[in-house]
Amino acid sequence: TRGCRFCSVKTSRTPAALDADEPRRTAEAVAAWGLDYVVVTSVDRDDVADHGAAHIRTTVAELKKANPDLLVEVLSPDLGGDADRVRTVATSGLEVFAHNVETVERLTPRVRDRRAGYRQTMQVLKDAKAAAPHLVTKSSIMLGLGEKDDEIRQTMVDLRDAGCDVVTFGQYLRPTKRHLKVVDYVTPEKFDEWRVEAEALGFLYVASGPLVRSSYPRRAVSFADESRRRRGRRR
């Protein structure tokens, strides 16, 4: 139901109803693939009372029922910024809660749907960590949209203040001519500089490169295991 200007997923004001059998079928498919790590993502569903939070929670439960050893990352929508909905997802049994800030604060109104806010994203990450302190939380930033260096640095600081553990940086690529133009192509060397700066701020893990996407790093298994270790220490 959102229309971000960087994303080519089709938008609908009246999408089809949620498929109640989707969580079970998703779990069956993942089990058949023999995965040890899976990323579950979702479109925004502002038309649903809880924005799909219970549906995502049920999906995680079905995945874990099918394979208790499976590591699960959820790339979550903002759920309308509602803390109870965020808690529903964050306490579903997943290892990694991801929610992308996408860009710097100044560019957010131009890049993202009007219902998605920079500060709202930071609050969602805070609420997820508050609901389940053992969770590894994660966010991603697209570069090449006209952001300035000091704005990227401030975004990293804001993510750390929100308790975000993992950050990824990737190059924005224009999906169609109807979407935002690429302002600049960031060099691999500059991506390396951002990785070094982010690591110095204390992020648990940083992936930074032109072809990096939010669910890119195979190292994800390592920081999902960190989530399980944190959970064990809290018992």
SS3 7: coil
Per DSSP, 102 falls in state B
Residue with the larger pLDDT of the pair 137 and 224? 137
Please report the DSSP string for 37-89 in residue order: EEEEE----TTSTTTTHHHHHHHHHHHHHH-TT-EEEEE---GGG-HHHHHHH
Q: Assign 4 a pLDDT band (cuts: 50, 70, 90).
A: low
By three-state DSSP, how is residue 22 classified?
helix
Could you read off the pLDDT of 17-36 as tens digits, one per residue? 999 999 999 999 999 999 99
Picking from 234, 231, 204, 232, the residue whose alpha carbon sits closest to that of residue 220 is 204
Q: Inform me whether the pLDDT recorded for 120 exceeds 90.
A: yes
| pLDDT > 90: percent of the chain | 74
List, for residues 38-51, the tens digit of each pLDDT value.
999 988 887 889 99
SS3 content of the chain, % helix, strand, coil (to 5): 40, 15, 45
Do 180 and 145 meet the contact criterion of CB atoms below 8 Å apart? yes
Q: In which region does residue 52 sit, left (phi positive, over 0), alpha (psi from -120 to 50) or beta (all else)?
A: left
